[in-house]
Structure 1
Amino acid sequence: MSQALNRDYQVLEEIGRGRFGVVYRCSPVTNSGDFFAVKSIDKRLISAGDSLDAQCLFSEPKILRFLSPHPHIINLHDLYEDDDYLHMVLDLCDAPDLHSRVTRRVYSEPEAASVMAQLMQAVAQCHRLGVAHRDIKPDNILFDERNRLRLADFGSAETFKDRGEPMSGIVRTPYYVAPEVLAGREYCEKVDVWSAGVVLYIMLAGFPPFYGESVVEIFEAVLRANLRFPSRVFHSVSPAAKDLLRRMLCKDVSRRFSAEQVLRHPWITSGRGQDERLI
């Protein structure tokens, strides 16, 4: 551990582990009643691997500092670096993440609307400030001690200057990646809306909208983007929810909703998912 980190924080038990590092609970030495998480990344593991991972290592703290503070984005409080490690002191979110929650049960529409409203507030703030997250998935949707959603893991994030400015590069997780990314085309920040639409579908259905038995089959299904609502699952889901899903999971990027349009949709604003005007 960094001497500077140990001077300012008491590092406690391990609470998570990833490919390049470990997450610990920590507490400021001046106030043992407050708790944070410290993400300690072993730079030696990254330098021996992909240059893209090295780029992510150094871009994430900069982007988090730019976005902070926001009630639904993980906040970076302190940053320490030595020859071997990078230590990021972040908000502590030790409640089960969305991935853990959706594997246990299907969400009701009011529950899903509440989660989606918080998520899209975070995404809209990112887009307003010219940041595309590019890896929205349940694993990166955390909850703090007040059960407030926090969007995390900005290692794949990219900055842009203007709305709709093109980006490129394959980014991350098969089920959640937008079709224009897989097609190898330039894309814009609306890839985050597509990914959030997949998250919403999973909350309501318990399974992803585009799936297959292998990564190749999943990619093929995403590229087809044939959105369906099986009656055995969606018979009780409101027309308003289905309408929003169609607008978020729209293959035509020009017609796909922006994050702010999602926030203005009646299913979100009602908080109940029961707006009958869309029947």
Structure 2
Amino acid sequence: MCETLNKDYQLCEEIGRGRFGVVYRCFSAVSGGDTFACKSIDKRLLSDPIDRDCLDKEPKILHHLSATNHPNILHLYNLYEDDHYLHIITDLCDSASLYDRLTTPLSEPSAAAIFHQLISAVNHCHRMGIAHRDIKPDNVFFDSRNKLKLGDFGSAEWFCGERAAMRGVVGTPYYVAPEVLLGREYNEKVDVWSAGVILYIMLAGVPPFYGENVEETFEAVMRGNLRFPTRIFRSVSPEAKDLLRKMICKDVSRRFSAEQVLRHPWMINGGETRSMNDPT
């Protein structure tokens, strides 16, 4: 374990585990016992160049975002590295993730309260020139005050200047945008598609595109045939369905930006159903 890390933080119990490392609860010996999370990554397990690139990129992106201290983005506090490990100190999010919370459909006001925090985080990333590229409930966390934190920027990418367009198949089957699967160049609106899928699941309890296996799910995503089954969406407002259509839109030129999502009447009204001027 890194000697400097041990001087600054006391590592406690394991609270998570992934392919390349372990997440621990820890507390700061310097600040009087404030609690944090320590993500310890074993660099020896990163034989793939893509994985190594992610290891190099994620701390830089988190550091860039943390400089602005957005309340709904996981904050990077410290970074330690030795020959074998990279240790990332971040906010402690020890409440259930959004994935764990989506056991039943949510009311529209409840969904809107969560979704506003998520889209605010996504919009901030985009304004900073960063696309997350793996928006899914598993990467949406909550701290002890129940504040949403968007995390896991391992697939994130810069988009600005000459790198405005991105390539590469990244993401998760239910949530990935069709242009990613088609191998085309794409922009930051892939995050809007993924966030729209999350909103659909929050309101319906099921994803909009799925199949018996990964291949069938990808085929459904690429068709992009968005439906609102009456049995499931009977009590969902026209305003919510309008927003979903504008987020889960296969035509990228017509798909909303994150900023447009924030200005949609359903978002402004906090999920309370009111009449719309333009019910498309």
2:54 is equivalent to residue 61 of structure 1: no
What is the CA RMSD across the aligned residues, in angstroms?
1.3
Q: Which residue in the other structure is 1:74 paired with? A: 74
CA distance in 1, matches of 2:73, 2:166: 22
Per-residue deviation, 1:160: 1.0
Per-residue deviation, 1:275: 2.4
CA distance in 1, matches of 2:32, 2:231: 51
Per-residue deviation, 1:163: 11
Per-residue deviation, 1:32: 4.2
Per-residue deviation, 1:172: 2.4
CA shift digits 1:164-187 (9 cap, x unpaired): 921100002111100001111100
Segments of 4+ in structure 1 off by > 6 A?
A: none
Task: Verify the 8 A CA contact 2:175 2:194 in the aligned structure 1.
Answer: yes
TM-score by length of 2: 0.96
The equivalences for 1:206-217 within 5 A come to 206-217=205-216
2:11 is equivalent to residue 11 of structure 1: yes
TM-score by length of 1: 0.97
Structure 1 unaligned residues grouped into runs of 5+ = none
Per-residue deviation, 1:162: 5.1
SS in 2 for 1:86: strand
CA distance in 2, matches of 1:272, 1:203: 12
Task: Verify the 8 A CA contact 1:164 1:189 in the aligned structure 2.
Answer: no
CA distance in 1, matches of 2:163, 2:108: 30
Identity among equivalent pairs (%): 65
The equivalences for 1:54-133 within 5 A come to 54-68=52-66, 69-102=69-102, 104-133=103-132
Please tell me the residue identity of whatever aligns with 1:22: V
Task: Verify the 8 A CA contact 1:241 1:273 in the aligned structure 2.
Answer: no
The equivalences for 1:1-279 within 5 A come to 1-46=1-46, 48=47, 50-68=48-66, 69-102=69-102, 104-161=103-160, 165-277=164-276, 279=279
Per-residue deviation, 1:33: 3.4
Please tell me the residue identity of whatever aligns with 1:72: N
SS in 1 for 2:10: strand
CA separation of 1:164 and 1:224: change in aligned 2, threshold 3 A: farther
